[in-house]
Amino acid sequence: MSDSVKGNIMNIATWKRGLYMLLCTIFYSVAELVVFAVVIIQFLFKLFTGETNPRLLKLGQGLAIYIYQIVQFLNFNSEHHPYPFSGWPRAEPKEAKPANVKPKEGKPGETKPA
Protein backbone atom coordinates (compact mmCIF):
# COMPACT_ATOMS: atom_id res chain seq x y z
CA MET A 1 0.00 0.00 0.00
CA SER A 2 1.38 3.42 -0.89
CA ASP A 3 2.19 6.01 1.74
CA SER A 4 -0.53 8.41 0.50
CA VAL A 5 -3.23 5.72 0.82
CA LYS A 6 -1.96 4.81 4.30
CA GLY A 7 -2.01 8.49 5.23
CA ASN A 8 -5.59 8.83 4.00
CA ILE A 9 -6.72 5.74 5.92
CA MET A 10 -5.04 6.94 9.11
CA ASN A 11 -6.52 10.46 8.85
CA ILE A 12 -8.49 11.01 12.08
CA ALA A 13 -10.54 13.86 10.58
CA THR A 14 -11.91 11.55 7.87
CA TRP A 15 -12.95 8.96 10.46
CA LYS A 16 -14.59 11.65 12.59
CA ARG A 17 -16.52 12.83 9.55
CA GLY A 18 -17.56 9.24 8.88
CA LEU A 19 -18.97 9.02 12.41
CA TYR A 20 -20.85 12.30 11.92
CA MET A 21 -22.17 10.97 8.61
CA LEU A 22 -23.43 7.79 10.27
CA LEU A 23 -25.21 9.81 12.96
CA CYS A 24 -26.67 12.20 10.38
CA THR A 25 -28.01 9.25 8.41
CA ILE A 26 -29.87 8.10 11.53
CA PHE A 27 -31.18 11.63 12.16
CA TYR A 28 -32.29 11.80 8.51
CA SER A 29 -34.39 8.66 8.97
CA VAL A 30 -36.03 10.10 12.09
CA ALA A 31 -36.66 13.42 10.31
CA GLU A 32 -38.41 11.55 7.47
CA LEU A 33 -40.79 9.96 9.96
CA VAL A 34 -41.51 13.32 11.56
CA VAL A 35 -42.18 14.88 8.13
CA PHE A 36 -44.62 12.06 7.38
CA ALA A 37 -46.42 12.73 10.69
CA VAL A 38 -46.55 16.49 9.99
CA VAL A 39 -48.01 15.83 6.53
CA ILE A 40 -50.76 13.61 7.90
CA ILE A 41 -51.62 15.93 10.80
CA GLN A 42 -51.56 19.02 8.57
CA PHE A 43 -53.89 17.30 6.10
CA LEU A 44 -56.30 16.46 8.92
CA PHE A 45 -56.22 20.09 10.12
CA LYS A 46 -57.05 21.30 6.62
CA LEU A 47 -59.74 18.65 6.20
CA PHE A 48 -61.56 19.38 9.46
CA THR A 49 -60.93 23.11 10.01
CA GLY A 50 -60.38 24.36 6.46
CA GLU A 51 -57.08 25.98 7.49
CA THR A 52 -53.50 24.89 8.01
CA ASN A 53 -51.80 24.96 11.39
CA PRO A 54 -49.15 27.74 11.47
CA ARG A 55 -47.00 25.89 14.01
CA LEU A 56 -46.92 22.82 11.77
CA LEU A 57 -46.07 25.03 8.78
CA LYS A 58 -43.06 26.38 10.68
CA LEU A 59 -42.02 22.89 11.82
CA GLY A 60 -42.37 21.54 8.27
CA GLN A 61 -40.25 24.37 6.88
CA GLY A 62 -37.57 23.76 9.52
CA LEU A 63 -37.59 20.03 8.76
CA ALA A 64 -37.24 20.70 5.03
CA ILE A 65 -34.19 22.90 5.62
CA TYR A 66 -32.78 20.40 8.12
CA ILE A 67 -33.08 17.50 5.67
CA TYR A 68 -31.46 19.67 2.99
CA GLN A 69 -28.55 20.44 5.35
CA ILE A 70 -28.11 16.74 6.14
CA VAL A 71 -28.05 15.77 2.46
CA GLN A 72 -25.57 18.55 1.69
CA PHE A 73 -23.29 17.31 4.50
CA LEU A 74 -23.59 13.65 3.50
CA ASN A 75 -22.72 14.45 -0.12
CA PHE A 76 -19.62 16.44 0.91
CA ASN A 77 -21.20 19.63 -0.48
CA SER A 78 -20.97 21.25 2.95
CA GLU A 79 -18.74 21.07 5.99
CA HIS A 80 -21.53 22.52 8.14
CA HIS A 81 -22.60 19.99 10.77
CA PRO A 82 -26.42 19.93 10.95
CA TYR A 83 -28.48 19.83 14.16
CA PRO A 84 -27.78 18.58 16.89
CA PHE A 85 -24.17 19.59 16.22
CA SER A 86 -25.31 23.14 15.43
CA GLY A 87 -28.50 25.14 15.89
CA TRP A 88 -31.91 24.19 14.50
CA PRO A 89 -32.58 25.88 11.14
CA ARG A 90 -34.91 28.85 11.42
CA ALA A 91 -37.12 29.91 8.59
CA GLU A 92 -40.63 31.15 8.11
CA PRO A 93 -42.91 29.02 5.96
CA LYS A 94 -43.38 30.26 2.44
CA GLU A 95 -46.66 30.14 0.58
CA ALA A 96 -46.42 27.99 -2.50
CA LYS A 97 -47.88 29.38 -5.71
CA PRO A 98 -49.71 27.00 -8.01
CA ALA A 99 -47.59 26.14 -11.03
CA ASN A 100 -50.39 26.62 -13.55
CA VAL A 101 -51.37 30.18 -12.55
CA LYS A 102 -50.06 32.88 -14.86
CA PRO A 103 -49.44 36.41 -13.59
CA LYS A 104 -52.05 39.00 -14.53
CA GLU A 105 -51.04 41.18 -17.45
CA GLY A 106 -53.70 43.83 -17.05
CA LYS A 107 -57.31 44.25 -18.11
CA PRO A 108 -58.41 43.48 -21.67
CA GLY A 109 -58.18 46.55 -23.86
CA GLU A 110 -55.82 48.27 -21.45
CA THR A 111 -52.60 49.61 -22.97
CA LYS A 112 -49.28 49.18 -21.27
CA PRO A 113 -47.12 52.25 -20.63
CA ALA A 114 -44.14 52.55 -22.94
The domain ranges of the chain are 18-95
* Burial 76-102, CB ≥16 within 10 A → b, else e: eeeeeebbeeeeebeeebeeeeeeeee
Looking at residue 2, what is its pLDDT?
78
* Percent of the chain surpassing pLDDT 70: 79
Phi and psi (nearest 5°) for 10?
A: -85, 0
Nearest to 34 by CA among 70, 62, 6: 62
Three-state secondary structure call for residue 77 = coil
pLDDT at 102 over 70: no
Q: Which of 90, 89, 97 is CA-nearest to residue 71?
A: 89
The tens digit of pLDDT for each residue in 41-74 reads 999 999 999 999 999 999 999 999 999 999 999 9
Using a cut of 0.85, tell me whether the model's pTM lies above it: no
Q: Report the pLDDT value the prediction gives residue 86, as an integer from 0 to 100.
A: 82
